[in-house]
Structure 1
């Protein structure tokens, strides 16, 4: 037997999977970690502990529990949250915590300064995206301005996946899909690094070498083999961001296919027939040369359900809390007995791109229950998702097929509310393991063990969640949109 290994670093958990070349799961493992919030609007991970430490732990666990000979693992694929910003020294050692993706808004001033200097139209034309909290370029400029002593020691700026690949192979690489988030340092037209838009951010030689996600970046070094238990010489793919690997895991592979990931954030990827340029959403070259992806994402989704559990359900057994909360919410009717939630607990990403947006429960009264509040939370995330889907529709990018994936798909109330509020049916595949499964498939693809079309056999559709429109939701969505508009000025003045 021959196998491939996939490991993904998520916002709150690392997951790994070992599969054979027919897609059958041999072993799975996971390890939790925390997202650090050192101050409002910031979000960080510890690279040594949360990225590399988790990778090693999960890898060793998979080998031990499966009993698979490491030499039978023919390739390794990895992905991670992204885009992140991590400066490392000449030895590859992290100089600070990893600065996370769009939930970290520390570079607001740099986003504004670079946009004013370059011009938004030029940014969209050259980089494919307006600068937002999702962009890595402004965060590197923040590093230069606010941590000059660390900037001076920086040999390379990596993202989370790049860091893992470097630890495994010694190669400093990044896939094009991830690199497109490094605006204004990546040109989507030439698909290469550029410095003519902003020469003062970083010398280009300090950025990783560009690759496609189905290419082999290098092989497991002796040092990495000693740490992980993997065989020296095992090929490792260039990897990608977790959401892209997750999309591949459920067969999002042809124009018109869309993934909705129910994770720490709702993240949406559309395989587009051509490049779509609009400041409200993101663009990147897809995982394979000559293909296109359009993306959108909320700032807080699963993160918000976790916050609710930790702050408002401390009386419940943590292992059963989400199931109990879903039961309580199911007893509340659509519309949550008149309660609305704005899910902007870390600002908002698409389509608002508003780092000052704030979360809110609105309409509270003394008759409402925790179940009403949790249902309002689910519905608020779904309203935010509808806002994104309407943006795609405005751009002529309605999905031909939508597939749901991620841990949140276990919450049937959340799934159904999202279909009912957006008016879109969702397909759920047989395996909802997510990004690590996509990583294992990419690894098999990179060594020629499978074809792209084989993902349909690896992970077929299992059920469809059909949309059931409700007038209550139509009214609720209109009020949701108005509530943000009418409180936006207040939010800016709050700390």
Structure 2
């Protein structure tokens, strides 16, 4: 019998690829969902104010490097890799009829053919689109975000007409990756429904079709595209934005093409599953990660009591329901966009990990703190957490959260995605002094973590007020590895937070897509149950003082936005 490190043709290994904001990552998982090995490769990014761009050529090269390195680290032979699945940010890719890049940049640089998800160039276009009374808007919280694709497409049409005329395919990044791997440009129900206003419930009749299939794209609202000035995208049976769609995990084309297989160091023909947005792959990789004792008899309903937090550069909040729930300021309901047969509700915060980095890196003591952390061979976050423990002891406080009594943060530094849906909202720090010490930065860091957690509490309360019954959170992503971040969320929201056994949940979710494409599992849900597993459970504090304290701070948190609205009105009148 071969050992786990020896190549064995009989061993089944599932490969997942995740392209995030700053890197491409690859992970290999066995049939129990255990990570065998992973690797990452950086990708280039161009930032200029609201404009954020990348290169699909550079991204694919990074994917190839990451896949080869992961296989080498895990000692997995090409013959053992049985499938491949992709997840990626909801960035927008432009290619011509030869699949070559078309520039979406004011610079004209042809390499820069990807508008990154966080790009906010299309705020004005989003506002104009939101004056539409189209039924399509009902399924994205009543308004499109500038981070969605229709506003970005409209911006390109209005500002880069030469590029607009050259583009043959507009694709979400994860769909482009699977297209690059298979030559099949079938789009995912996840990407089209969540970011393109596609009405996925047009395919309800296919949900029990055991032979998973690509379906003619009958969910586009042509009147919506005409009304917002993008009627030319309807031409040719929506050829530029998607003529066919498929459920996540549907096998694409004839599998991996010989060209792509050579570039990735894999065997041609292995199944490639229809993709997911990265956050949604995190949902697939974690939402069934509940302890066996918490597996309830009414399985179809139990999953509806959970919300997944995918905590990275930004945070996505995802919950599913059996019936469609229309919630103002929350994206969705999206039918089968993550778990087939369920309606997906998607909240989010546009800057969480990015905000913590911003707060730390722009503080006067940032360099000193980074040097201290490096000398101790720990991360800056670990050092800040240690500082907070020390300050708590020195001040004789009974819990860490109490250290920010006079410091409050509204984390809307990149607007408010949910539940207010105000891209013009600004961040607020209340309670600053002239202190620039490491200790003051630690307190500001803690107040920012709390502000992010109050934002999540607002989202959970808002969802529950509109029909959800969320009582358990599951967290994954880089920030979920930070114990203070997770404990503050548990204390502030008042829910237990389950961490998955495998910390690389997005990679696992991507790998599950490929596993489903092999037909080893009858459904995505079956594969999730087989490959998800629970790890640590973080419970909220049972000290009533902690709850009373955070209830008070939460009231101040909500007031910071209300005050901002009042201030905005005063200044608008002054300039009128």
SS, match of residue 43 in structure 1: strand
Q: Is the 8 A contact 2:96 2:166 kept in 1?
A: yes
Specify the alignment match of 2:515 in structure 1: 444
Specify the alignment match of 1:180 in structure 2: 193
Q: Is the 8 A contact 2:515 2:527 kept in 1?
A: no
Q: 1:284-307 CA deviation, whole Å, 9 max, x = no partner?
A: 222354322111000100111222
Q: Is the 8 A contact 1:127 1:188 kept in 2?
A: no
Q: Is the 8 A contact 1:268 1:295 kept in 2?
A: yes
Partner Cα separation in structure 2 for residue 375 and residue 289 of structure 1: 38
What is the deviation of 1:95? 1.5
Query: TM-score, length-normalised on structure 1?
Result: 0.92
Q: State how many pairs are aligned.
A: 487
Specify the alignment match of 2:401 in structure 1: 334
| Aligned residue runs from structure 1 range 412-423, under 5 A | 412-423=483-494
Q: Are residue 314 (structure 1) and residue 327 (structure 2) matched?
A: no
Q: Is the 8 A contact 2:515 2:521 kept in 1?
A: yes
Partner Cα separation in structure 2 for residue 154 and residue 377 of structure 1: 42
More off after superposition, 129-138 vs 148-157: 129-138
Partner Cα separation in structure 1 for residue 196 and residue 531 of structure 2: 35
Q: 1:440-471 CA deviation, whole Å, 9 max, x = no partner?
A: 12211221224534544533222221112432
Q: Is the 8 A contact 2:139 2:326 kept in 1?
A: no
Q: Are residue 461 (structure 1) and residue 488 (structure 2) matched?
A: no
- Cα 1:125/1:251, change in 2 over 3 Å: closer
| Aligned residue runs from structure 1 range 271-282, under 5 A | 271-282=320-331
SS, match of residue 464 in structure 1: strand
| Aligned residue runs from structure 1 range 27-38, under 5 A | 27-33=37-43, 35-38=45-48
Specify the alignment match of 2:309 in structure 1: 260
Tell me which of 320, 324, 342 is aligned to 2:383: 324
Q: Are residue 293 (structure 1) and residue 344 (structure 2) matched?
A: yes
Q: 1:335-359 CA deviation, whole Å, 9 max, x = no partner?
A: 5141111211211211122121122
More off after superposition, 269-278 vs 144-153: 269-278
Specify the alignment match of 2:558 in structure 1: 481
Query: TM-score, length-normalised on structure 2?
Result: 0.80
Tell me which of 496, 521, 540 is aligned to 1:425: 496
| Aligned residue runs from structure 1 range 27-426, under 5 A | 27-33=37-43, 35-39=45-49, 41-49=50-58, 51-82=59-90, 84-96=91-103, 97=112, 98-101=114-117, 103-116=118-131, 118-119=132-133, 122-125=135-138, 129-184=142-197, 186-191=198-203, 192-199=219-226, 200-201=229-230, 202-203=233-234, 204-208=238-242, 209-218=244-253, 219-252=255-288, 254-283=303-332, 284-286=334-336, 287-312=338-363, 313-315=366-368, 316-317=370-371, 320-330=379-389, 331=391, 333-335=400-402, 336-366=404-434, 369-426=440-497
- Cα 1:457/1:127, change in 2 over 3 Å: closer
Partner Cα separation in structure 2 for residue 343 and residue 456 of structure 1: 35
- Cα 1:129/1:47, change in 2 over 3 Å: farther
Unaligned runs of at least 5 residues, structure 2: 1-10, 104-111, 204-218, 289-299, 393-399
SS, match of residue 197 in structure 1: helix
- Cα 1:34/1:376, change in 2 over 3 Å: farther
What is the deviation of 1:115? 2.2
Q: Is the 8 A contact 2:317 2:348 kept in 1?
A: yes
RMSD of aligned residue pairs (Cα, Å): 2.3
Q: Is the 8 A contact 1:215 1:237 kept in 2?
A: yes
Partner Cα separation in structure 2 for residue 419 and residue 262 of structure 1: 14
Specify the alignment match of 1:434 in structure 2: 505
Partner Cα separation in structure 1 for residue 490 and residue 248 of structure 2: 31
What is the deviation of 1:150? 0.6
Partner Cα separation in structure 1 for residue 450 and residue 382 of structure 2: 17
Partner Cα separation in structure 2 for residue 322 and residue 236 of structure 1: 37
Unaligned runs of at least 5 residues, structure 1: none
Q: Is the 8 A contact 2:322 2:341 kept in 1?
A: no
Partner Cα separation in structure 2 for residue 221 and residue 419 of structure 1: 46
More off after superposition, 418-427 vs 359-368: 359-368
